[in-house]
Amino acid sequence: MDNIFSKSVKGRSGVDAGKVNEKAMEAIPASLRRAAESGLPELSELDVVRHFTVLSQKNFSVDTHFYPLGSCTMKYNPKANEAAAALPGFTGLHPYTALIDEEAAQGALEVIYDISRQLCEITGMKRFTTQPYAGAHGELLGILLTAAYHRKKGNNKKYIVVPESAHGTNPASAAVAGYTIITVAVDKEGGIDIDSLKEKMNDEVAGIMMTLPSTLGVFEKRISEVVAIAKKYDALMYYDGANLNAILGKLRPGDVGFDIVHINLHKTFSTPHGGGGPGSGVVGVSERLLDFLPVPVVAKDHTGRFILDYSVKNSIGQVASFFGNFGVILKAYTYILMLGREGLIDLSEKAVLNANYCMAKLKAFYDLPYDRVCMHEVVFTAKKQNAYGVHATDIAKALIDRGIHPPTIYFPLVVDEAIMIEPTETESKETMDFFIEAMKEIAGLAQTDPEKIKNAPVTTEISRPDETKAARDLKLTCF
């Protein structure tokens, strides 16, 4: 579709900015004024609305398509969440309001206080901060807290241990926080390799980052052993909450011995992904990290009023301008209120049920590297189809032709040709049956007519893009 600049007509405008006195410009000296025009396009309101509405129709989304994107938890986002975040008492609230007068922001502070307490109960942690804007941002905060803890104790630590199945953000966040990464292999069952871990552990390990259930969609049966090993070396245990959707009411990271937990509210707690964000990566900590949390902490005084507490003894400072992505936090809060205890347990059960159902129905057709009960997602591979020259990416593109957003492919990296399916709990049996039939048909075609799969998609407006060209002949703006 033509870009928006090509639709620009000189002299057209989408808003009436109101009356302005051109002389106002005299308030600033000529040397401070912009010389070049802004170059923004000139369009009517309808031009703009139509342009972007038509663009929206080129997307697959949860509201329009089944979206079993492993590791991303693309569940339905209840509309009540959106309604709550759009309430004028929240959208119109300036973040400085609480800083100059807590009294004037009691409702917002209560939301932060309340959801923090709910998340503590859900995860077994002692306190939460809502500052991190996304999962990776939560990871960074968690590792900075780890650093502050060791520094305070006078420990000399250099390394963070990460299993090779981890999300790329784990090693990247630890590196940004100043650590060197030690990678540990995965065993035959899909869990962290305990022998390899024991071999690589040393006194300079600051922490171990774990995803539970693992990114292979299976539970780490030996997690207690990992916790014991960490303890021996005074290393902190970090829980990557990307897969929390599988275990609500079934296991709490705090009970297991984790010190730091980040939760992707945009996964488990149903805030929409927005085409890549905004998310929220709230972080919970155990007792021994309370003194390092970012400030301000939202607390309740003896009269029941909500206040900002800056008295955290060894606070690391702050990682966000204010309280994080508050609008996102509101959506998660609404969701938790609606579901309550039973609803949260129910969602994890149905998420696991749906993933196991897909696994059971598809394992005769696709290679299953870890053939055991899965949690909320299942990892297949395209190995069987490789024999006919068909790869995971081809299967993904063929699914697009069938009106289904592809699963995550080529992740986790430890499995070649991975196809990672996370149906989520909000999808019905019919939807999954439709997907299962599509996957079977594709597996069949891979044998009988592989070219058809390799040419997919053919129903979309564009065929497969030349990504090499995109990176080689960089064109990053319309002009």
Residues 422, 432: contact at Cβ < 8 Å? no
- In the three-class reduction of DSSP (H, G, I as helix; E, B as strand; rest coil), residue 251 is classed as coil
The answer to the question of residue 301 lying near another protein (CB under 8 A) is no
Out of 125, 184, 209, 247, point to the residue binding another protein (CB under 8 A): 247
CB burial readout 114-150, b (16+ within 10 A) else e: bbbebbbebbbbbbbbbbbbbbbbbbbbbbbbbbbbb
The answer to the question of residue 238 lying near another protein (CB under 8 A) is no
Comparing CB distances to another protein, the nearer of 75 and 391 is 75
The answer to the question of residue 330 lying near another protein (CB under 8 A) is yes
The answer to the question of residue 70 lying near another protein (CB under 8 A) is no
Q: Tell me how far, at minimum, the Cβ of 381 lies from another protein, in Å.
A: 18
Range 197-236, binding another protein (CB under 8 A): 218-219, 221, 223-224
Cβ neighbors of 428 (< 8 A, separation 6 or more) are none
The answer to the question of residue 364 lying near another protein (CB under 8 A) is no
Out of 66, 72, 239, 307, point to the residue binding another protein (CB under 8 A): 72
Site string for another protein, 449-468 (x = CB under 8 A): --------x--xxxxxxxx-
The answer to the question of residue 93 lying near another protein (CB under 8 A) is yes
Out of 340, 371, 447, 449, point to the residue binding another protein (CB under 8 A): 340
Residues 415, 381: contact at Cβ < 8 Å? yes
Range 394-413, binding another protein (CB under 8 A): 396-397, 400, 405-406, 411
Range 152-181, binding another protein (CB under 8 A): 167-169, 171-179, 181
Residues 412, 418: contact at Cβ < 8 Å? yes
Alpha-carbon distance of 267 to 279, in angstroms, equals: 9
Alpha-carbon distance of 308 to 424, in angstroms, equals: 37
The answer to the question of residue 360 lying near another protein (CB under 8 A) is yes
Residues 186, 216: contact at Cβ < 8 Å? yes
Out of 249, 369, 440, 452, point to the residue binding another protein (CB under 8 A): 249
Comparing CB distances to another protein, the nearer of 147 and 445 is 147
The answer to the question of residue 299 lying near another protein (CB under 8 A) is no
The answer to the question of residue 137 lying near another protein (CB under 8 A) is yes
Residues 155, 282: contact at Cβ < 8 Å? no
The answer to the question of residue 194 lying near another protein (CB under 8 A) is no
Q: Tell me how far, at minimum, the Cβ of 75 lies from another protein, in Å.
A: 8
Residue 278 gets which letter from DSSP?
Answer: -
Q: Which residue has the tokens 């997307």?
A: 59
Comparing CB distances to another protein, the nearer of 49 and 387 is 49
The answer to the question of residue 40 lying near another protein (CB under 8 A) is yes
Alpha-carbon distance of 265 to 246, in angstroms, equals: 14
Residues 245, 264: contact at Cβ < 8 Å? no
H or E element at residue 335: helix 326-362
The answer to the question of residue 78 lying near another protein (CB under 8 A) is yes
Out of 62, 161, 379, 446, point to the residue binding another protein (CB under 8 A): 62
